[in-house]
A = this chain, B = another copy of it.
């Protein structure tokens, strides 16, 4: 994040117009960084609706918003490099290709001509709740309270359909050709023209739900969210959901980008910056089970409190239970859960399904001793019965990512802000 910020600062210095394409934004967003733009909605707004309105969706830009985001779409081109051996290209086509790949160029209309699929998926920044982690011990990375996560419906073409239109039969054909990762490049660039990039493992593609999305909550993608086309890799950390996507490559290796190889990784709590061995640590893909309190309302008589918030697990693992305490974790109440259709996620009723959306929860708890010292705590459980750790001691890391400790809010306080 610091490197990105530095690159963006250089871009601003060297190209005074680097930020000429920034869109108008809702003034309710809490801005964490102006350039590049990083902002999150207020907690009470965030947890007020299962679907986050576009204007309130958290924004995590690594670089300036690129010109393509504010164009009319006619200037958009997506290049897709497919190994010639997979696409069954005739040898003449293969020999005309770049190396062993055939590079295809698609227009926005080409992608939109494929079957449209709509998926509900939460996207979360790996640095969500970094401010709390900094409070435990300083970390390197930008500040985030608990709202660097939002939930939307995304409409686009399945990436598997895009590849099939280019002659790729399926992911197992790619695996047989040595492909292990799908590498994305965005149109957002630093002063030297270096672009944002990231990759996902092949079996995320194989699961079938990765989209090239052109719509968010039924509207064309907003400029801040990747217009005209972005990757939505549901169940995967925000950093891999590349916005303003301009190229896709199928590779035996992860993206070589800074953000794939020298950022967005977890470390042991005792590892300092100098000792961090990025190569030995896996890039963050799926995020662990987490939850947070977004809104607290004490009843007028002061004898009970209603708390509401979100819970989320990566990899499409549904949230099956959320426990809430009003006494700092001594006693717990299982919260009411709201999933995509307004009812509890189906996994809580048995079975194993993918749920890429988040889960909202609410619970009303008695305050037998009044508001006084009451501390609200939330922790969630995913469909593999993974749980959140009590505190920061075991998950603290020098980059301040992956904070999924129990979230605590003093009743009568102002939440996490």
A384 CB contact (under 8 Å) in B281, B314, B323, B393: B314
A42 CB, nearest partner CB in chain B, Å: 27
A268: contacting residue among B334, B349, B393, CB under 8 A: B334
The answer, yes or no, to whether A28 is at the interface (CB within 8 Å) is: no
Q: A180 within 8 Å of B by Cβ?
A: yes
**Which residue of B266, B268, B352, B385 is within 8 Å of A266 (Cβ)?**
B385
Using A281-B320, A315-B384 as known contacts, list a sample of 11 further A-B pairs with CB atoms less than 8 Å apart, ordered by residue number in A. A181-B351, A254-B351, A266-B321, A270-B323, A279-B349, A281-B321, A282-B347, A286-B385, A289-B386, A387-B394, A388-B389
Q: A180-B351, A390-B393, A390-B394 are in contact. Are A266 and B381 (CB under 8 A)?
A: yes
With beta carbons under 8 angstroms apart, the residue of B204, B323, B350 that contacts A352 is B204
Q: 8 tightest A-B contacts by CB?
A: A201-B352, A286-B384, A288-B386, A386-B386, A270-B332, A268-B334, A288-B385, A390-B390
Q: Which residues in B have their C-beta under 8 angstroms from that of A287?
A: 384-385
Cβ–Cβ < 8 Å partners of A279 in chain B: 349
B349 touches A282 (CB 8 A): yes
Instruction: Please tell me if A56 contacts chain B, counting CB pairs below 8 Å.
Output: no
Closest Cβ of chain B to A174, distance in Å, is 14
- Please, how many angstroms separate the alpha-carbon atoms of A171 and B3 in the complex? 46
Interface residues of A in 299-346 (CB under 8 A from B): 314-315, 317, 320-321, 323, 329, 331-334
With CB as the reference atom, state the residue of chain B lying closest to A126.
B385
- The yes or no answer to A269 lying at the interface (CB within 8 A) is yes
Interface residues of A in 396-413 (CB under 8 A from B): 402, 404, 406
Contact partners of A317 in chain B: CB under 8 A? 384
Closest to A384 in B: B286
Once the chains bind, are B350 and A268 in contact (CB under 8 Å)?
A: no
In-complex Cβ contact of A288 among B284, B348, B384 (8 A): B384
Q: How far is the CB of A352 from chain B (nearest CB, A)?
A: 4
Give bound CA distance, A285 to B270, whole Å: 33
A383: CB under 8 A from chain B?
yes
CA distance A120 to B302 in the complex (A): 57
Q: Count identical subunits in the complex.
A: 2
- Shortest C-beta distance, A388 to chain B (Å), equals 7
| B270 near A331: Cβ-Cβ < 8 Å | yes
Q: Is A176 an interface residue (CB 8 A)?
A: no
**A268 CB contacts on chain B under 8 angstroms:** 321, 323, 332-334
Of chain B, the residue at the smallest CB distance from A203 is B352
How far apart are the CA atoms of A381 and B286 in the complex, in Å? 12
Q: For the complex, what is the distance from the CA of A283 to the CA of B351, rounded to whole Å?
A: 8
* Cβ contacts under 8 Å, A406 to chain B: 394
> Taking the complex as formed, is A379 at the interface, i.e. its CB lies under 8 A from any CB of chain B?
yes
List residues of chain B with CB within 8 A of the CB of A388.
389, 394
Query: Contacts of A222 on B, CB cut-off 8 Å?
Result: none
Nearest chain B CB to A69 CB, angstrom units: 30
- Please name all residues of chain B whose beta carbon is closer than 8 Å to the beta carbon of A329 when the two chains form the complex: 393-394
Q: Is the CB of B201 within 8 A of A351?
A: yes
Contact assessment for B385 and A348 in the assembled complex, using a CB-CB cutoff below 8 Å: no
Q: Does A280 contact B (CB under 8 A)?
A: yes
Q: At the interface, yes or no: A391 with Cβ under 8 Å from chain B?
A: yes
Chain B neighbourhood of A285, CB < 8 A: 352, 383-384
Taking the nearest CB of chain B, how far is it from the CB of A368, in angstroms?
15
Q: Which B residues are CB-close (under 8 A) to A180? A: 351
The residue of chain B having its C-beta at the shortest distance from the C-beta of A200 within the complex is B352
| Distance of A259 Cα from B402 Cα, bound (Å) | 35
Q: Please determine whether B349 and A280 come into contact, CB atoms closer than 8 angstroms.
A: yes
Closest Cβ–Cβ distance, residue A276 to chain B (whole Å)? 11
* Assembly CA distance A385 to B268 (angstroms): 11
Residues of B within 8 A of A111 (CB): none
